[in-house]
Structure 1
Amino acid sequence: MKHHHYDSAMVLVKQNPQASTLPNGENMSSLFMAAEAGQLELVKAMMQNGLVDIQTVEGQSVVHAAIKARNLDVLKALLERQSTYFCVYDGNGRSPLSYASSIGYFEGVCYFLGRSGYEAATYRRDRGDDGSFPIHWASKIGHVNIIQEFLKLRPDSKELLDYNGQNILHVAAMNGRVDVVSYVLKKPELAVLINQIDMKKGNTPLHLASKGEQARVVHILTWDKRVNLEIRNDKGLTALDVAAKHGYWTTTFQKRLTWLALRYAGATQTHKRNTSQGIQNFYYTARVNTLLLVATLIATVTFAAGFTMPGGYNSSDDHPYKGMATLVKKRMFHIFVLSNTIAMYTSIIVAVLLVWAMLNDLHLSLCSVKLSIPLLGISLSMVSLAFMAAISLVVSDVTWLAIVVLIIGSLSLLGLWMVFLPLSFPNSLTHRVSLYILRYPLYLLILATEKRKK
């Protein structure tokens, strides 16, 4: 079996079928290896001697091996031989149906759900610490097609709760399963799950997604008008309170995006962040230093650009405009000058504001940073615009090249604002129209930075 000599194995099995269930030094039997390899005829021959102990490998059963191999014929042969095999559990406490749901084995799940006499498998709780049901495993891993099959054949499975009192939407939101969350929100018959609180800590799916830094799930939930943003858990915390408590002052970007998604949805915060003065000062000091460095670099670059005009200067003694820029009457030159001037002065203003922020006054630092970030965004945009205008101006005789430069520059400016806008006005902006507009670039930023889930 180990070296895949199945014909030889069949000869040996016919001589001594009982030896098929004996474990080797790895505590693995030939029957287990045959099921894992999907060898139907061998499995049938090995089981001819009657009922066998299917717990042939510690923490794993032959039935689980057949499910892992995704071989429906072997699975049927095992269960037809002894129907009680669907009650066995693996080392993680998962029943065969739960295991099939967790690995996304759709055919196996359909077989369990469609076979008469196996109805109890749907409602058999696992032996793990959280007491999940098979549908919870499908939700936890994100297998929407399996959830659909459960709800089609066992509609009441949507009401199943684990030991934490959590439904499938709780589990999906907590684990960041966007497809499952979107599916639940689209089904009117599942609307009862949207604001349901768990029985252990009173958390809604939005609370759990906020706590788990699932920014994309939070964004999707907050877009649905049926989601109540004001529900409080057993500790009296709203979803925004939970997001602030679990990461506002940390450097994890996903935590910050989660907080912004709730903020732009109009969620309210009822509890003041319980953070020491020292941590807050450290947070703003690091941020001020970074912003000041960027502002200084912009001021330096734009100052130098002011004396190195594109096209140069008129140096001829007989020229009526000696010392003037040669391209001064070009429209793109006007854009360059104006953009460069705006960039320089806004960066200087940002630098002055940030100097005030270094006076070790937390309130002053907060105000300075709030004013500096939008101005710095304007400064960066103007630098980009000045560069685009200058390059397109000096290559204007080559039309296609000038057009390409303008297209690249325009797309870069759009990308800059898509990234910068959601981070510019997190605290001071309260106008609902502005918040609604900012949610679109925020979602793109979440998609771009989202961690890929296994």
Structure 2
Amino acid sequence: WFGKQGKCIQQRLDTSDKRKRKVDIDHTLVYTKMNSDDNATRMIKIIRDAAQIHIVVATLLVTVTFAAGFTLPGGFESDKDSLDKGMAILSKKSAFCAFVVTDAIAFACSAGAVFSYFVMAMTYTPKIGGELEITLTKKEQRMLLKTFKLATSLLFLSMSAVVIAFVTGLYATLENSVGLAATVCVIGCLALLIYVLVFYVLYTEATK
């Protein structure tokens, strides 16, 4: 009798331990899921906050590069008797051609960045219900991150092209003054050096 009672008690204890372990596992899964949701919410908020700043910069670049395309350095030919009336005066200079090309690249990249941020706002907007609720699937979150990276890359290319356009535009108008033109080019290229330095610092910190 004592042996049977001992087996029954042992079985009940084993069952209780299994239930306790199952509850602990369930609690762990719930805690992990909550942390995952919190991280996803934080990621979406960071991306959306950054995109709001980036789209302002991209819009300014679109405006500036668009205006620069119609206010070319050196001006236009205004002689009524000239066959080149209305054409750019410096169109035959290499520096001017470089200015036009880089300005067009900057405009295209900044416009592409604006469109990418617009797509992000239209497609990957989580619903608001008191607090930010995660309504994006894992695939949508990956697409959101890829779109943000693409838009940021386009914005960086546009900023780099604007610097080159600035340098080449000034060089085209100051070509007769070699010393001043070279000084302007060196100072303007410092912006590109700063870009590289910032990315190098970020890369080295991320790989530590």
Q: Do both share a fold (TM > 0.5)?
A: yes
Task: Kindly tell me the number of residue pairs found equivalent between the two proteins.
Answer: 154
Is the counterpart of residue 397 in structure 1 residue 159 in structure 2?
Answer: no
**Aligned amino acid, residue 167 of structure 2:** M
Counting only pairs closer than 5 Å after superposition, residues 331-370 of structure 1 correspond to structure 2 as 331-358=94-121, 359=123, 360=125, 361=136, 362-370=141-149
Q: Over residues 147-189 of structure 1, what are the superposed CA-to-partner deviations in whole Å (9 max), with x where a residue is unaligned? A: xxxxxxxxxxxxxxxxxxxxxxxxxxxxxxxxxxxxxxxxxxx
1:248-292 CA-to-partner distances (Å, cap 9, x unmatched) read xxxxxxxxxxxxxxxxxxxxxxxxx73524322211110111111
1:325 and 2:84 are equivalent in the alignment = no
Q: Which runs of 5+ in 2 are unaligned?
A: 1-34, 126-135
Shift of 1:416: 1.8
The unaligned stretches of length 5 or more in structure 1 are 1-272, 423-440, 447-454
Q: Which residue is 2:36 aligned to?
A: 274
Write the letter of the residue equivalent to 1:382.
A
- Of structures 1 and 2, the larger Rg is shown by 1
Contact preservation (8 Å) 1:311, 1:394: yes
Of 55, 79, 98, 1:316 maps to 79
Equivalent residue for 1:286, pick from 37, 40, 49: 49
1:349-389, Cα deviation, whole Å (9 max, x unpaired): 11111111112253332121111111111100000110111
The structure that is helix-richer by fraction is 2
Q: Tell me the percent identity.
A: 32
Tell me the alpha carbon deviations over residues 23-82 of structure 1, each in whole angstroms, 9 at most, x when there is no partner: xxxxxxxxxxxxxxxxxxxxxxxxxxxxxxxxxxxxxxxxxxxxxxxxxxxxxxxxxxxx
Q: Distance in 1 between matches of 2:63 and 2:163?
A: 15
1:375 match: 154
Higher relative contact order (CA 8 A, sep 6+): 2
For the Cα contact (< 8 Å) 1:356–1:365, is it kept in 2? no
Once residues 331 and 289 of structure 1 are traced to their aligned partners in structure 2, the CA distance between those partners, rounded to angstroms, is 38
TM superposition shift of 1:347: 0.6
**TM-score normalised over the length of structure 2:** 0.68
Tell me by how many angstroms 1:320 deviates.
Answer: 1.1
- In 2 relative to 1, CA 294–445 (structure 1 residues): closer, same or farther, beyond 3 Å? farther
Q: Which residue of 1 aligns with 2:201?
A: 442
Residue 407 of structure 1 pairs with residue 203 of structure 2: no
SS at match of 1:306: helix
Matched residue of 1:313: which SS? coil
Q: Counterpart of 1:274 in 2: which secondary structure?
A: helix
RMSD: 1.9
The 5-angstrom pairing of residues 93-172 of structure 1 reads none
